[in-house]
Structure 1
Amino acid sequence: MTIPRIGQGVDVHAFTDTADGVPLHLGGLHWADSGGLDGHSDADVVAHAACDALLSAAGLGDLGAIFGTSDPRWAAASGCTLLTETAARVRAAGFEIGNVSVQLVANRPKFGPRRAESERILSEAVGASVSVAATTTDGLGLTGRGEGAAAIAVALIVHSGE
């Protein structure tokens, strides 16, 4: 009997000062909004949460352990680069990826108009279906105050040999 495995991932990053000129990357996309997210890589919370969900499902650790800030190879890396590498590691560990679902929690940018574009790019990076939904927290917490963005993801995988 094939038993699917699920994993979940969460990522949160603070917005930088708009004067810093850091670009905003979210859901594998570049956004024209000024003031990106602060992080070692591009701080794409959507891609990072998807990575953690896949790694968790496969029992391979987490984003920080694999792409940690002490490793200069991943400095300024795109979320899609990390996601492609994560998917390769999950497959190398003997798993097939069923799908990934991500919930973005942020006041900006307006994600809906570019949802399909993001899902296509992230699905290409994973080599399986990735869906993305977005919501706000109605003014509550760091995302509601516009101080940062968060994402929560789940991934479904199955062992190739089961």
Structure 2
Amino acid sequence: MERIRDEATIEKLKQLRQKLMSADISHARVAGFQLSWLQEDGMAVLQEALFGNYSKTAKRAAAYGLRSMRGRMKKVAVEVLEKGVVHQDRATQEISKTSLGLMRGEITIKPPKRKPRPYDKRSQSKRPHSKREIRSIPSEANGNLKSYSPKPTRRPK
């Protein structure tokens, strides 16, 4: 049974499809994630992007959207990615294989390692001083710290 779509839904699908085909991977991934929430309608757009003649960026974003599918559509998304593994396009095969590996936990993405900061062997006195230095509080001639005494204010009568 085909669901009847209203104008707003069709317009939203067009906008998300346009964003999915974006050259900027961040915008494309956001669109892929949003399409994953649209069940069958989103699945159709993501499937078209994965199997169509589109850029690798769009295919990666579509695979991300398929990985993000939840509920009853998750099994269908896995089937679509399995079809992508045997697809004739090399990019689709590679992206589908990676996406399935991520879903199954076979592949883990590690955050980039930071280079450790080198230890400075110079003594404290030879190190360059920071921009802000601790200064002493000026004292009076007798050696006491300058005291703050508020000036009395007169109240009007």
Higher-strand-fraction structure: 1
Superposition TM-score tier, normalisation by shorter sequence? under 0.3
Q: Which structure has the greater CA radius of gyration?
A: 2
Q: TM-score, normalised by structure 2?
A: 0.25
Q: Higher relative CO (CA 8 A, sep ≥ 6), structure 1 or 2? A: 1
Q: TM-score, normalised by structure 1?
A: 0.25
Higher-helix-fraction structure: 2
